Amino acid sequence: MTHLYNRLDGMYPNIWRANFKGAAAIDSWEKAWAEAFDEDGISMQMVADGLRACRARHDMPPSLPQFIKCCRATDDDQEKAFYIAADQMVRRHAGQPELWPSPRHFWAAQRVGGDMQHLSWRDLAGRWRAAWEQSAADVSRPIPAAAPPEQSLPAPGRTTRNEADVSRMLSEARDQVLAPRASKYPAGVDLSWTEKINDAPRNWPTISCRYAAEARAKYNLPVSDTLRKFLGKPQEVAA
């Protein structure tokens, strides 16, 4: 907390320090902010990201709620980057055209590895944040060409979706995740992309069903009985 106080003092010289009349006021600030960080699950990495967001958004020292929003907003940005990278990795392994927003997205996905295609944001958030931070130095590093996709046959008695269809479905889910947020959902979060999946999960790949089930459960939205079974399940392509 002392380091955070000093960083804010450096960002807002004289203005930040003027809010504290003495050691007792600083001690009270440290206890209140530390307690809020613990209750809201704000990690040290999120605090660092929040400082960067705060510097870009606030000309005056932030209140506690404003600072936590900065931490959360940055975390939302990383979640969006995760979804984009997961979609591009699926395209890469399916031999489909790729459109990486930046080399950083690619190298972060490489650091996380194959789990990007099988696990959700909830499972990989910590690893993704670390990989994203490490890949900041790779923004100019070229993205290598993809190897030819391996061909495999479905197991006897089982059919699989066409890989192009899977890639298209994931792209649609990704685009809807990144769409402007609607006010009808909690805290302005747009979960409209989950509605069709919630109504007919069998029309979507398992990875999309799991993302939708977790998102709806997170914000206490109704989860259909058919979709609920995807909560916490290992991922494969739905038949």
Q: In whole angstroms, what is the distance from residue 57 CA to residue 79 CA?
A: 20
- Residue 119 is predicted with a pLDDT of 84
Average pLDDT over all residues of the chain = 80
Q: Give the count of domains, the chain.
A: 2
Dihedral sign, CA of 169, 170, 175, 181? Answer: positive
> What's the one-letter identity of residue 26?
I
- Residue 84 is predicted with a pLDDT of 87
Q: In whole angstroms, what is the distance from residue 106 CA to residue 146 CA?
A: 11
Q: Looking at the predicted structure, is the pLDDT value of residue 174 above 80?
A: no
CB neighbourhood size of 127 (10 A): 17
Residues 6+ away with beta carbon under 8 Å from 46? 71, 72, 74, 75
**Residue 166 within a domain:** yes
**Residue 145 within a domain:** no
**Residue 220 within a domain:** yes
**Tokens 């606030």 correspond to what residue?**
58
Span 10-52, pLDDT tens digits: 999 989 989 898 899 999 999 999 999 888 888 887 788 788 8
Residues 6+ away with beta carbon under 8 Å from 18? none
Give yes or no for a contact between 81 and 154, defined as CB atoms under 8 angstroms apart.
no
**Residue 109 within a domain:** no
**Residue 120 within a domain:** no
**Residue 118 within a domain:** no
Q: Which residue stretches of 94-136 are H helix?
A: 103-112, 121-134
Span 74-100, pLDDT tens digits: 556 778 888 888 888 888 888 889 999
More confident residue, 80 or 143: 143
Q: In whole angstroms, what is the distance from residue 7 CA to residue 214 CA?
A: 36
Q: In whole angstroms, what is the distance from residue 211 CA to residue 79 CA?
A: 12
Does the pTM exceed 0.85?
no
Give yes or no for a contact between 238 and 209, defined as CB atoms under 8 angstroms apart.
yes
Helix, strand, coil shares, percent, the chain, to 5: 65, 0, 35
**Residue 36 within a domain:** yes
Q: Which of 42, 74, 106 lies at the terminal end of a domain, its last residue? A: 74
**Residue 148 within a domain:** no
Give yes or no for a contact between 167 and 203, defined as CB atoms under 8 angstroms apart.
no
Span 129-139, pLDDT tens digits: 888 888 888 88
Q: Which domain holds residue 62?
A: 2-74
Q: Which of 74, 94, 115 lies at the terminal end of a domain, its last residue? A: 74
Q: Which of 74, 94, 124 lies at the terminal end of a domain, its last residue? A: 74
